[in-house]
Structure formats: C-alpha cells, structure tokens
Amino acid sequence: MLELEEVSKRFGDQVAVGPLSLKIAQAETTVLIGPSGCGKSTLIRLMIGLLAPDTGSVIFDGESLAVADLPTVRRRMGYVIQEGGLFPHLTARRNVTLMARHLGWDPGRIESRVAELATLTHFPLDALERYPVQLSGGQRQRVSLMRALMLDPEILLLDEPLGALDPMIRAELQGELREIFRALNKTVILVTHDMGEAGYIGDTIVLMREGRIVQQGGLRDLVETPAEDFVHRFVHAQRGAREILGGGG
C-alpha cells in the first residue's frame, strides 16, 4: 500500500532523511520513533506529499506521489497533527465535514458518517457545534481524528497526535487510540517520541536516528535484540515511576 524507495530529503545543507527504504505493513499500526530531529516528522510529511523527496520515490498503491494527483491521493489518506490543526473559523462539525461537503456528499450520508465517527471517538454530539477554541485539547484531537477518518481513508497518518496533551488525558487517549485502530483494522502510521506510547500502540516500531532507520520490529525485538547500543539506550531512556522508586529506594 505505502512504500518508500531510497527516499532522501535535505533542508539546505542538512540531510533530514535518508536515503532510506521502508515498506509499511498493511492493516497494522507502524510507529515512527526517535529523538528530536531524527527525521520522523519529515518522513511522515513525505508520505502524504506535503514534502517532495529530493531522491527516491514514495509509492502509494503502486503509483509514485511525484506523478499522482495529490488532492485525489490525499483523500484516500487521513492525517492528524499535533494540536489537531483544526480550522478556527469552522465549528467542530464543519471541520469534520469540510471535505465531504466540498465533494458534494448528500447531507444524509454526511450526517450518518459523523454520528458513526462520534461514537467511535467518544465525542459528544452536542459539542460538534462548538468552535475549536471552545474545546479542550483532548476533544480537539478527537475532532481531528474524526476529520481524518471522514472519507474512510485506506491509511491513517498521525504526527505526534498526543504531543500537546497533559499526561492523564494522554494516557486515556492512548488507550482509546489503540482500541480505535484495532476496530478500524486500517494501515496506521503514527509518529511519537514516547517509547511507552510506541510500544503500547504500535505493532511495528521503526526507530530512527539522524535521518536513518536504526531498527525496525516489535517492541520485544527492540528490547531483547537491540541492533546497536543506541537502541538499548533509547528504549531505556524513559524511566517509569516504579523504576525510579525501585532504583532510588
């Protein structure tokens, strides 16, 4: 479905990504993780064509994004960014339905799809008439997810979707996201810098460093058979409270 072939991207003199190749597993959740500046966000932006690679190609459904009609291809992808990127001039409902209305869906179909998504994301229907500034951070992310899923895309891309939320909400949404991804059975790509989140949500974890893929596999692979010392250090860099109490007490 989605495949990167020898893709590289530089900003000025700085190599941001690659060259690297990556095949995204169908109907699984792939998590891109790595320290700040490792190129994970650049990679996801390359996948949806917000950036064009300097070399190599991004192949979606057998066609390179370089030659595809981007607006058409993007309607088959859903995209969620940190803080949601909800348009402030539109209500939650109009944010969610913007693209469907633009494509001329009939109101009944739009209405039932919105109801379906609200149930899926546990978003209260009456809050749909609010504007983004009137919603909490968690609610905004739910609306953003509804917007990304509105056209029932084949693939869902999320760039640090929970990055701006406080820990309680974040933990709650992590659980919900995992449920939603399981229920949808879609190809999902999620960018995060949180190892716990990656291990909890992801089927496959792609660990990146300085624009390259260091290791790719399940959480167990990364923990038990780290490809290099960096993997070991990265996986163990984030300590939990229990670990702190155990180590310091």
Partner 1 sequence: MRRALQCPARGALVGLLAVAACSTPIDGRPVVVVGSKAFTEAVVLGEVIAQLAEHAGADADHRRQLGGTRILWEALLAGEIDVYAEYTGTIVEEILAATDVAGDDQVGRELERHGVRMSGHLGFNNTYVIGMLEDVAEELEIRTVSDLAAHPALRFGFSNEFMDRGDGWPSLRTRYALPQENVRGLDHDLAYRSIESRSIDVIDLYSTDAEIEFYGLRPLEDNLGHFPAYQAVLLFRDDLVERAPAVVEAILGLEGAIDEGEMVAMNARAKLELVPESVVAAEFVEARFGLQTEVVLEGLLDRFARNLRGHLWLVSVSLLAAIIIAVPLGVVAARLPRLGLGILGVVGIVQTIPSLALFVFMIPLLGIGAPPAIAALFFYSLLPIVRNTHAGLMSIPAAYLDSAAALGLTPAARLRLVELPMASVSILAGIKTSAVINVGTATLAALIGAEGFGQPILTGIRLADESLIMEGAVPAALLALAAQGCFELAERWLVPRGLRIESGA
The window from 80-88, 211-219, 223-231, 241-249 that contacts partner 1 (CB under 8 A) reads 80-88
Q: How far is the CB of 100 from partner 1 (least distance, A)?
A: 10
> Positive or negative, the Cα torsion across 122, 125, 130, 134?
negative
Cβ nearer to partner 1, comparing 49 with 56: 49
Which of 15, 27, 90, 184 touches partner 1 (CB under 8 A)? Answer: 90
CA atoms within 13 A on the CB side of 30: 24
Q: How far is the CB of 164 from partner 1 (least distance, A)?
A: 11
Distance separating alpha carbons of residues 148 and 77, to the nearest angstrom = 8
Site string for partner 1, 114-133 (x = CB under 8 A): ----------------xxxx
Helix (H) or strand (E) holding 127: none
225 lies in the site for partner 1, by CB under 8 A: no
48 lies in the site for partner 1, by CB under 8 A: yes
For 10, phi then psi, to 5°, come to: -125, 150
242 lies in the site for partner 1, by CB under 8 A: no
Which of 35, 37, 85, 217 touches partner 1 (CB under 8 A)? Answer: 85
Cβ nearer to partner 1, comparing 82 with 216: 82
Q: Go through 148-178 and write b for each residue having 16 or more CB atoms within 10 A of its CB, e for each that does not.
A: bbbbebbbbbbbbbbbebeeebbeebbebbe
Helices (H), 105-240: 107-121, 137-149, 167-184, 195-201, 219-224, 229-235
Cβ nearer to partner 1, comparing 79 with 234: 79
Which of 55, 63, 87, 246 touches partner 1 (CB under 8 A)? Answer: 87
Q: Is 10 helix (H, G, I), strand (E, B) or coil?
A: strand
102 lies in the site for partner 1, by CB under 8 A: yes
166 lies in the site for partner 1, by CB under 8 A: no
104 lies in the site for partner 1, by CB under 8 A: no
Q: Which residues contact 69 (CB under 8 A, 6 or more apart)?
A: none
Which of 1, 15, 99, 120 touches partner 1 (CB under 8 A)? Answer: 99
Q: How distant, in Å, are the alpha carbons of 235, 237, 249 from that of 245?
A: 19, 16, 5
Determine whether 220 is exposed, middle or buried from the number of CB atoms within 10 Å of its CB (0-12, 13-18, 19+). exposed
To 5 degrees, how large is the angle CA 149–CA 154–CA 157? 65
Which of 25, 27, 151, 171 touches partner 1 (CB under 8 A)? Answer: 151
Q: How far is the CB of 241 from partner 1 (least distance, A)?
A: 31
Which residues contact partner 1 by CB under 8 A? 45, 48, 50, 70-75, 77, 79, 81-83, 85-91, 98-99, 102, 130-136, 147, 151
